[in-house]
C-alpha cells in the first residue's frame, strides 16, 4: 500500500525531532515513567508479562530507538524484534542496542510469517494511526502473533482526536483493547489496567495497558 499521511509525517523531519527528543538511557527512562505514572515501565510490564517464559519471541511494532525492547531485555527476554518506519530511528536503535533484531519497515506490511511471534506489541504507536487505517495494522499484528497482543496506549472510552504539537490528524486516544476485541473475534481479554498520570501537567489523562490472547481454535 502507499504510505499513509501519518507514515509520511513520522518518516520525515518531525519524526527525527521526536527521536532526538525521546532518546534516553534506561535510568532516565525509568525516572520518566516514575514521575509520569508513579511506577516504572518494567514494573508495569511485570504485571502483564511476569509469567511469560524468557525465551518468548516478542515483536514491537514502531519501536523507535528500541527503548522498550531494551527494558524487556533487562527483564530477561532474549528473542526481541522491532520494526520501525523511520530510518533515522533505526540507525539510532542499532547504536543503542545489542542482540536485538531491529529493522526498517511498516506495521501495515510486517515481513514475518503467520504466527512467528509469541507476543506482538505496541507502545504509544496505535495513537498515531488514523482510525480508518487501524484495522489493517491491527490485522497484521494479529496475523504475526501466535498467542498474545500486548499494548500500552493513550486511553479514552471513545475514539478522540487530539491536536499534536499544533498538527491535526496525527494523534487519537481510544480504548484500543476494545477495538481489537470488536474487530477480531478470535481474541479474548486477559488483562487490562488503566494508569492515570500523576505528573501535574498531565493529570486527568490516562493510559491503558492490555494483554489479549488468541482463543484456541
Joined together, the cell numbers standing for residue 80 give 526481541
Report the range out of 22-31, 105-114, 194-203 with the highest average pLDDT: 105-114
- How large is the average pLDDT for residues 176-182? 99
Q: pTM for the whole thing?
A: 0.94
Rounded to a whole number of angstroms, the CA Rg of the chain reads 16
Taking only the tens place, the pLDDT of each residue in 17-43 is 778 887 678 889 999 999 999 999 999
Q: Are 197 and 165 in contact (CB under 8 A)?
A: no
| Ordered domains of the chain (ranges, CATH) | 5-214 (3.40.50.150)
Residue 86 has pLDDT above 70, yes or no: yes
What percent of the chain lies above the pLDDT cut of 90?
80
Predicted confidence at residue 2, as pLDDT, reads 72
Residue 104 has pLDDT above 90, yes or no: yes
Predicted confidence at residue 8, as pLDDT, reads 81
Instruction: Return d(Cα 73, Cα 88) in angstroms, integer.
Output: 22
Amino acid at each position: 500500500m502507499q504510505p499513509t499521511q501519518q507514515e509520511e509525517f513520522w518518516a520525515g523531519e518531525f519524526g527525527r525531532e521526536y527521536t532526538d527528543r525521546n532518546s534516553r538511557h534506561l535510568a532516565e527512562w525509568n525516572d520518566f515513567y516514575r514521575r509520569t505514572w508513579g511506577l516504572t515501565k518494567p514494573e508495569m510490564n511485570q504485571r502483564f508479562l511476569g509469567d511469560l517464559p524468557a525465551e518468548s519471541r516478542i515483536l514491537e511494532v514502531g519501536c523507535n530507538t528500541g527503548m522498550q525492547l531494551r527494558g524487556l531485555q533487562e527483564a530477561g527476554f532474549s528473542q526481541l524484534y522491532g520494526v520501525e518506519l523511520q530510518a533515522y530511528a533505526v540507525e539510532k536503535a542499532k547504536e543503542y542496542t545489542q542482540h536485538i533484531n531491529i529493522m526498517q519497515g511498516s506495521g501495515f506490511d510486517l515481513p514475518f510469517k503467520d504466527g512467528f511471534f509469541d507476543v506482538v506489541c505496541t507502545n504509544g504507536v496505535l495513537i498515531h494511526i488514523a482510525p480508518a487505517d487501524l484495522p489493517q495494522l491491527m490485522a497484521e499484528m494479529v496475523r504475526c502473533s501466535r498467542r498474545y497482543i500486548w499494548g500500552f496506549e493513550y486511553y479514552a472510552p471513545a475514539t478522540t482526536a487530539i491536536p499534536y504539537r499544533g498538527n491535526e490528524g496525527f494523534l487519537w486516544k481510544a480504548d484500543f483493547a476494545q477495538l481489537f476485541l470488536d474487530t477480531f473475534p478470535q481474541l479474548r481479554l486477559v488483562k487490562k489496567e488503566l494508569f492515570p498520570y500523576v505528573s501535574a501537567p498531565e493529570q486527568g489523562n490516562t493510559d491503558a495497558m492490555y494483554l489479549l490472547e488468541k482463543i484456541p481454535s
